Amino acid sequence: MITEKEIKAPNGIMFIFVLLIAQISALAMLINNLMNANTMLVVISLLMSIVIFICWFGFFMVNPKEARVMQLFGKYAGTVHDSGLRWANPFYTKMRVSLRVRNFESSKLKVNDKNGNPIEIAAVIVWEVTDTAEAVFQVDDYEDFVSIQSESALRNLATSYAYDHHEDNDISLRSDPAKISAALKIEVQDRLEKAGVTVIESRISHLAYAPEIANAMLKRQQAMAIIAARRTIVEGAVGMVEMALAKLEERGIVELDTERKAAMVSNLLVVLCSDEAAQPVINAGSLY
């Protein structure tokens, strides 16, 4: 596996003056040797001028949050990170690689969740290149690799969890966004590690049931919500009835036998659990 090797490229501004002086000197030597008709020195000074002229093609610019991957005749030579005008071997192939943080938003994918329900899901992946050599040489196109592998990881994640939880300990796509985002980040990072890419953040950007079952699932969610609300109401009503009986007995306001207690419990539960306000009935006669 090819890993990044950082190299230092000399300051380009300094090399401009060096090459300029060398070029003027070589041209002056060439003219002087031509005037003196010295064939050997003419050839040497001409070759020097050509070499210095070729060196002018070694200048390149490195922008902030950018790197240049150097290759010499197909062999990886190193990566330059220092920004500004730089100079390197003019025969180097200098490939530009951006180190900026980038976003990838997947399309809406239609997959089946853990329970087999068709859902639509999409995600946003925040990533950056941290190893330029792996990004350039380990994969054919690292940007395309990020998009394909991110969607593949998202599909695999969606099939591993249910859309909504049915038990308190279950992790679901809808109810546990923080845990799902952490799991998605790990899933995507494992796939992009070989491309020299680091995932900074990942989160679900769209989550819904597929249109063909959306109405049925909505009714099921409503039914589950009603059942949960009823359970809470009943638990509260039973507690209030228990407290009322305990207070009546504690303060000795009235003594009730088992049958009257059952009637009182029934009436209180009807009042407390009813959807509509109860209509009071005043009993002015005897208790019995």
Lookup: tokens for 19: 């090459």
- The architecture that CATH gives domain 102-209 is 2-Layer Sandwich (3.30)
In this prediction the pTM is 0.68
What residues does each domain of the chain span? Answer: 12-95, 102-209, 214-273
For residue 232, the tally of other CB atoms under 10 A from its CB is: 10
Q: What pLDDT score does 256 carry?
A: 64
> Which has the higher per-residue pLDDT, 210 or 6?
6
Count other C-beta atoms under 10 Å from residue 279's C-beta: 6
Most confident of 144-153, 237-246, 261-270: 144-153
Give me the mean pLDDT over the 240-250 stretch.
73
Both tokens of 12, joined, read 């380009």
The tokens for 27 are 């041209």
Measured distance CA(158)–CA(180) in Å, rounded: 9
Give, for 271, the enclosing helix (H) or strand (E): helix 258-273
3-state secondary structure 53-118: HHHHHHEEEECCCEEEEEEECCEEEEEECCCEEEECCCCEEEEEEECCCEEEECCCEEEECCCCCE
Tokens at 116, concatenated: 């087999």
Q: Which one, of 116, 109, 286, lies nearest residue 217 by Cα?
A: 116
pLDDT grade for 224, boundaries at 50, 70 and 90: low
Averaged pLDDT for residues 165-183: 79
Helices (H) and strands (E) in the chain, counts: 7, 9
Is 281 a residue whose pLDDT tops 80?
no
Using H for helix, E for strand and C for coil, what is the string for 110-155?
A: EEECCCCCEEEEEEEEEEEECCHHHHHHCCCCHHHHHHHHHHHHHH
Residue-level pLDDT at 213: 57
Q: Give the other-Cβ count within 10 Å of 265's Cβ.
A: 16
Q: Are 6 and 97 in contact (CB under 8 A)?
A: no
- Predicted pLDDT at 198: 93
Q: What is the pLDDT of residues 93-142, one digit of tens each?
A: 999 999 999 999 988 888 888 888 888 889 999 999 999 999 999 888 99
Helix/strand/coil for 209: strand
